[in-house]
């Protein structure tokens, strides 16, 4: 009897071990890197997907900034990248030279960039910044919070504006958030001379790494103001300004105002840029973020799991998370085009990496 029980126990233990080993062997590890703008949403998406849809899929996303993420895609060290700035210029040429084709760049969501500030006594949404004023701040022409130009735009809080120097906080790393922000600034600020891109020569201010770093620096420094993605402003409970849009109206960020601003035809290559939305209620600083994919993958299982996960982000469960974090879901017509592009990716065991 004892022998029979021992044999049964050994068999059960062996089966359990084999089952656990098999489950572990079936786990698919997918790696991504890039935009901090997209990080809160990507990380929530992939965590939810692993917990509620497919526990065998583990997606690791490094929030290192768009520039670093694009370099990792070029180097072949990740399975996908993410950026608010499409591949262009020297990076695009480097990718083409190595892989022999253009990268597949697919938008997954939109978002907005807010001016977040740290002004003692000034609550969220109390500060108004018209275009000439925020242009003056980013160019260094306006250097004090008690400047008469800021007071004139803010009569309700003029007496509360502190006698502090303005500390402008910008990104120090290659950043898609900076790409979107400086495209707007270049469009609306006549005295801006630094151009637009993932990195620029800022005329004033201090740099910080990632949206996370900019947010932390603003929170630590009374008198600071800088630009952050709307999700970071929400998660960090930061005070943000209301802005003047192209129509001359003062608007605060809302998903409705950002959705309206991004309501434009998406071109064939998905590279929609809206540096200065025209609608009367549009929020003025908006952009999409793209995932950067290869057109060939060497591993069929990894490709299948990656495509399934990305398609899930555009379904009801994924878009519910998109809205919860105040990002802008892609419209249905664009989603069908995105799915068609995902289905066009092929398997090649000899794919370059």
The Cα 332–Cα 16 span in angstroms is 45
Q: What are the backbone angles phi and psi of residue 111, rounded to the nearest 5°?
A: -160, -175
Measured CA to CA, the distance from residue 177 to residue 205 in angstroms comes to: 16
- pTM of the predicted model, to two decimals? 0.90
Asked if residue 86 lies in contact with residue 267, where contact means CB atoms within 8 angstroms, the answer is no
Helices (H), 36-194: 39-52, 66-75, 89-99, 131-139, 148-153, 176-188
The partner residues of 286 in beta bridges, in order of sequence, read 112
Distance CA 232, CA 327 (A): 11
Classified as helix, coil or strand, 296 is strand
In the three-class reduction of DSSP (H, G, I as helix; E, B as strand; rest coil), residue 258 is classed as helix
Token couple for 149:
């130009």
Region 73-78: mean pLDDT is 98
Q: List the domains of the chain with CATH numbers.
A: 30-111+289-347 (3.40.190.10), 112-286 (3.40.190.10)
Q: Could you report the per-residue pLDDT of 133-157, keeping only the tens digit for each?
A: 999 999 999 999 999 999 999 999 9
Strand, helix or coil at 344?
coil
Widest CA span in the chain:
94
pLDDT at position 104 over 60: yes
Q: Has residue 4 got a pLDDT over 50?
A: no
Question: Which tokens in the block code for residue 232?
Answer: 């970071």
Distance CA 60, CA 275 (A): 31
Whether 93 shows a pLDDT value over 80: the answer reads yes
Q: Please check whether residue 178 is in contact with residue 198, taking contact to mean a CB–CB distance below 8 angstroms.
A: yes
pLDDT at 8 over 70: no
Q: Give the pLDDT of residue 309.
A: 98
Query: Distance between CA atoms of 142 and 148, rounded to whole angstroms?
Result: 10
Q: Which helix (H) or strand (E) holds 208?
A: strand 206-208
Residue 26: what pLDDT? 86
Mean pLDDT of 94-120: 98
Query: Residue 109 above 70 pLDDT?
Result: yes
Confidence of residue 12 (pLDDT cuts 50, 70, 90): very low
Asked if 289 and 35 touch (Cβ cutoff 8 Å), the reply is yes
Of the chain, the end-to-end C-alpha distance in Å amounts to 58
User: What average pLDDT does this structure show over 32-43?
Assistant: 97
Tens of pLDDT, residue by residue over 227-265, are: 999 999 999 999 999 999 999 999 999 999 999 999 999
- Confidence (pLDDT) at 5: 39
- The token pair at 176 is 């898609």
pLDDT of 325 strictly over 70: yes
């Amino acid at each position: 009897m004892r022998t029979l029980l021992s044999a049964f126990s050994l068999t059960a233990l062996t089966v359990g071990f084999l089952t656990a080993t098999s489950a572990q062997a079936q786990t698919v590890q997918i790696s991504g890197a890039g935009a901090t703008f997209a990080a809160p949403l990507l990380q929530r998406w992939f965590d939810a997907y692993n917990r509620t849809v497919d526990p065998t899929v583990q997606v690791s996303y490094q929030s290192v900034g768009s520039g670093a993420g694009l370099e990792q895609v070029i180097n072949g060290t990740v399975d996908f990248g993410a950026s608010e700035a499409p591949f262009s210029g020297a990076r695009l040429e480097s990718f083409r030279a190595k892989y022999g084709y253009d990268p597949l760049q697919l938008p997954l969501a939109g978002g907005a960039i807010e001016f977040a500030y740290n002004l003692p006594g000034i609550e969220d949404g109390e500060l108004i910044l018209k275009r000439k004023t925020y242009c003056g701040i980013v160019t260094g022409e306006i250097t004090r919070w008690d400047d008469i130009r800021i007071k004139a735009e803010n009569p309700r809080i003029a007496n509360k504006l502190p006698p502090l120097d303005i500390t402008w906080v910008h990104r120090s790393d290659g950043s898609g958030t900076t790409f979107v922000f400086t495209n707007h600034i270049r469009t609306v600020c006549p005295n801006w001379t630094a151009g637009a891109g993932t990195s620029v020569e800022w005329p004033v201010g201090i740099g910080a790494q990632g949206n996370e770093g900019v947010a932390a620096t603003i929170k630590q420094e009374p008198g600071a103001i800088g630009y952050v993605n709307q999700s970071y402003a929400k998660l960090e409970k930061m005070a943000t300004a209301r802005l003047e849009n192209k129509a001359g109206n003062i608007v605060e960020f809302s998903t409705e105002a950002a959705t309206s601003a991004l309501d434009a035809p998406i071109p064939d290559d998905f590279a929609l840029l809206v540096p200065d939305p025209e609608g009367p209620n549009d929020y003025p600083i908006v952009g999409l973020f793209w995932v950067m994919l290869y057109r060939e993958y060497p591993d069929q299982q990894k490709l299948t799991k990656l495509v399934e996960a990305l398609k899930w982000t555009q379904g009801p469960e994924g878009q519910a998370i998109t809205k919860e974090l105040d990002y802008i879901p892609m419209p249905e017509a664009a989603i069908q085009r995105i799915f068609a592009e995902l289905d066009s990716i092929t398997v090649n065991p000899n794919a370059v990496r």
